[in-house]
Amino acid sequence: MGTNIFTVMSQLATEHGAVNMGQGFPDFDTPRPLVDALARAMRDGHNQYAPAHGLPVLREAIADKTLDCYGHRPDPDTEVTVTSGGSEAILDAVMAVVHPGEEVILLDPCYDCYEPAVEMAGGTAVHVPLDPETFAPDWEKVRAAVTPRTRMLVINSPHNPSGAVLDADDIRQLESLLADTGILLLSDEVYEHITYDGRRHESVLRHPALRERAFVVSSFGKTYHCTGWKVGYCVAPPALTAELRKVHQYNTFCTFTPAQLAFAAMIRDEPGHYRGLGAFYQPMRDRFRAQLEGTRFRPLPVHGGYFQLADYSAVSDLDDAAFCRELAVEHGVAAIPLSPFYRNPPAGQRLVRLCFAKNQSTMDAAIERLEKL
């Protein structure tokens, strides 16, 4: 396995003093109540191992938050597991249930940790392309990819890298596709609270027919602007949770104790934060898109998450990897090429991913450089 594209582009940004619009982390402050709760937990002596599947107070808070958001309260003892980030939860889920020779359907473009997890489990990744402009799934193509060896389907909404969001019709088609099969579902929902223009996040947890066969993964780092804390969780029915925990215990065993207490307090005391996250990010999205329209880049629609795809066809004929290298080295802006998210990128596609979870000064500095191209 090679070094992932995020590490490569962030290293280029550091080496060449580029504005880092590539890797998906905010460069503004973590909420003060969360930082204070973390410091308080450490001062109060909560600095040793937590229970393997998470502190009870946090699992209870996650269950309550799930009820608040999606009308379903998972059992905190048998259905909620705290992990060291969403990526750990994804790896644990795949390793727990995918056996050598089994197939996992991935929808391209997809986040780059999915396929390595499948390969480490001895499985085979089967790639089905999303629409190259809207990034919507063609469910008939997905259905056609199902074989007797299909063990799991992975979905991601809001979608990284495109910002596309599954809607109620997608959920109906997904339910129909999986009905009367033994196929498991892995739903990556780490951007669950970041949707725009009144769109509702259609979490798998809203839908009984799906959640009974699903691992649903979320990330506190994405919700609370603290990606470096690496805390996430997985909600799954008891039988799937039991299998996931068998892998988790030998992977990280447990997760950063003081942060677990801090997140429990934040969920309980500051629910307005996660409820208002889309409204927090939407002005950033809108302003950044308006700024891009003053350049030769063409922004694609963004319905969720904090990434903006931009078409650079009017700027360069280079392939996306070469263009992103030139952009960082020669022009001082780090972006992420889209091709590493695909098994087989569409011919002639000229798209880069830019992160707008940034201070306005960061976005202004990037736009000033992009305007010169």
What is the mean pLDDT of the segment spanning 246-252?
Answer: 97
What is the fold of 5-30+276-370?
Answer: Aspartate Aminotransferase, domain 1 (3.90.1150)
Assess whether pLDDT exceeds 80 at residue 12.
no
∠ CA(119), CA(124), CA(125), 5° rounding? 90
pLDDT of residue 312: 98
Within the chain, what is the greatest distance between any pair of CA atoms? 58
Nearest to 231 by CA among 14, 4, 69, 37: 37
* Mean residue pLDDT across the chain: 96
pLDDT of residue 222: 96
pLDDT of residue 1: 62
- Percent of the chain having pLDDT more than 70? 99
pLDDT of residue 44: 98
Assess whether pLDDT exceeds 80 at residue 9.
no
What is the mean pLDDT of the segment spanning 106-121?
Answer: 96
Which of the four pLDDT bands, split at 50, 70 and 90, describes residue 2?
low
- Distance CA(274)–CA(224), nearest Å, equals 8
- Distance CA(244)–CA(253), nearest Å, equals 12
Assess whether pLDDT exceeds 90 at residue 181.
yes
Q: Does domain 46-269 have CATH number 3.40.50.300?
A: no
What is the mean pLDDT of the segment spanning 15-42?
Answer: 92
Summarised one tens digit per residue, pLDDT across range 292-343 is 999 999 999 999 999 999 999 999 999 999 999 999 999 999 999 999 999 9
Q: What pTM was computed for the model?
A: 0.96
Assess whether pLDDT exceeds 90 at residue 229.
yes
Residue extents of the structural domains in the chain: 5-30+276-370, 46-269
pLDDT of residue 283: 97
Enumerate residues 6+ apart whose C-beta is below 8 A from 40: 262
